[in-house]
């Protein structure tokens, strides 16, 4: 079993607290994503788990085993770095087999394992190539094969797709998910990209300023954010405070603050909420309308369909907000 337990984790650098009393349980065979902006503490927590960073207080357990003070090589954890961290003077095969060689595994077994894992990442014919001959996506595959070759209990992926172009990111994301499911390995994926997190994860933990704000499935995070930060980070939302409720017919809502997704606001001539269009942003498959209702500015996103009604900057339009679209927040 490779359940992971972070218990009361605190970490500071130069007097600044980076992680604030983090408590988290990651289940065996789960693909769990640490999601948050740069500097929120997600990579620091990952490095603490790997053994590359010490902690000020708290403990880390792998199953029932306390690994807080274990050396990295004794933790049965493998990490794929943002910059891949491959050895440029070695061949692809030697890179994949490096961890096995360091563990003094028999040469014949190393060859078999290298061949197997290169095939897993669709690079069976690349063993003799030099690293500098490979594209970014190919280097990422080699890095993943190297991590898998030592058969770790936990796989850590630190922003593994950030150096790839958009199309290749989507392809590699799907490949990582397929590999993770094939081996049933507990995996932690670190990213600042919410779309990436939503697409790949079983569970997401949202971090901000050293705090773990909310942990849930992608669907539940999207449909039931707890705070305005989570609502805004997971997807662009309209955050509306109680004093603004009268502008948009929300007087009966029993909450001090709510969020409404841009795509959940309806544009309708019968709408009782009257708004003036300030800006129109064309994004290809969708259009975002920035509108003003009294002192409140709303954004409304609509699919770019062939039969869309024509709306121009300066138009006065009607809006409707369906009751189920209103999400109550706690901050």
For residue 309, the model assigns a pLDDT of 67
* Helix or strand holding residue 314 (H, E): none
Specify the fold of 4-227.
Rossmann fold (3.40.50)
Residue 195 pLDDT more than 70?
A: yes
Percentage with pLDDT > 90 across the chain: 78
In degrees, to the nearest 5, what angle opens at C-alpha 234 toward C-alphas 231 and 240?
20
Tokens standing for 265?
A: 């606001």
Tokens standing for 174?
A: 């799907």
Which of 254, 257, 261 has its CA nearest to residue 228?
Answer: 257
Residue 137 pLDDT more than 90?
A: no
- Distance between CA 132 and CA 135 in Å, rounded? 8
Neighbours of 16 (CB within 10 A): 9
Which of 166, 161, 193 has its CA nearest to residue 177?
Answer: 161
For residue 1, the model assigns a pLDDT of 62
Domain range list for the chain: 4-227, 236-328
Q: What is the per-residue pLDDT across 13-71, written as a single tens digit (0 to 9) for each?
A: 988 999 999 999 999 999 999 999 999 999 999 999 999 999 999 999 999 999 999 99
- Distance between CA 319 and CA 23 in Å, rounded? 42
For residue 149, the model assigns a pLDDT of 93
Confidence of residue 308 (pLDDT cuts 50, 70, 90): low
Could you tell me if 270 and 318 are in contact, meaning their C-beta atoms sit under 8 angstroms apart?
yes
Residue 211 pLDDT more than 90?
A: yes
Tokens standing for 254?
A: 């029993």
Confidence of residue 163 (pLDDT cuts 50, 70, 90): confident
Distance of CA 7 to the CA centre of its chain: 22
- 189 vs 331, more confident: 189
Cα pseudo-dihedral 217, 219, 220, 221, rounded to 10: 80
Q: With respect to CATH, is domain 236-328 assigned 2.40.50.140?
A: yes
């Amino acid at each position: 079993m490779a359940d992971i337990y972070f218990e009361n984790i605190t970490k500071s650098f130069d007097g600044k607290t980076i992680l604030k009393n983090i408590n988290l349980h990651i289940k065996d065979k789960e693909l769990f994503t640490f999601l948050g902006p740069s500097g929120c503490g997600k990579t620091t927590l990952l490095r603490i788990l790997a053994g590359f960073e010490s902690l000020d207080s708290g403990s880390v357990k792998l199953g029932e085993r306390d690994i807080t003070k274990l050396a990295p090589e004794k933790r049965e954890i493998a990490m794929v770095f943002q910059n891949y961290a491959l050895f440029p003077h070695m061949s692809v095969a030697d890179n994949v087999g490096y961890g096995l060689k360091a563990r003094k595994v028999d040469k014949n077994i190393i060859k078999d394992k290298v061949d197997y894992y290169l095939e897993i990442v669709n690079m069976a014919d690349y063993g003799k190539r030099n690293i500098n001959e490979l594209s970014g996506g190919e280097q990422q595959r080699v890095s993943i094969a190297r991590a898998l070759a030592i058969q770790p209990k936990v796989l850590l992926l630190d922003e593994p797709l950030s150096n790839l172009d958009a199309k290749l990111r989507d392809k590699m994301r799907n490949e990582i998910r397929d590999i993770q499911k094939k081996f049933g390995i507990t995996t932690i994926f670190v990213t600042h990209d919410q779309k990436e997190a939503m697409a790949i994860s079983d569970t997401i933990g949202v971090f901000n300023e050293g705090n773990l704000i909310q942990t849930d499935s992608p669907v539940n995070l999207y449909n039931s954010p707890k705070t305005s930060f989570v609502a805004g980070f997971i997807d662009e939302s309209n955050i509306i405070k109680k004093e603004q409720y009268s502008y948009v017919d929300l007087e009966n809502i029993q909450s001090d603050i709510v969020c409404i997704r841009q795509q959940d606001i309806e544009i309708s001539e019968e709408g009782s909420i009257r708004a003036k269009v300030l800006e129109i942003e064309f994004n290809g498959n969708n259009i975002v309308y920035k509108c003003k209702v009294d002192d409140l500015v709303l954004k409304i996103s609509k699919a770019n369909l062939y039969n869309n009604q024509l709306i121009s900057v300066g138009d006065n339009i009607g809006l409707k907000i369906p009751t189920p679209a209103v999400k109550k927040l706690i901050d």
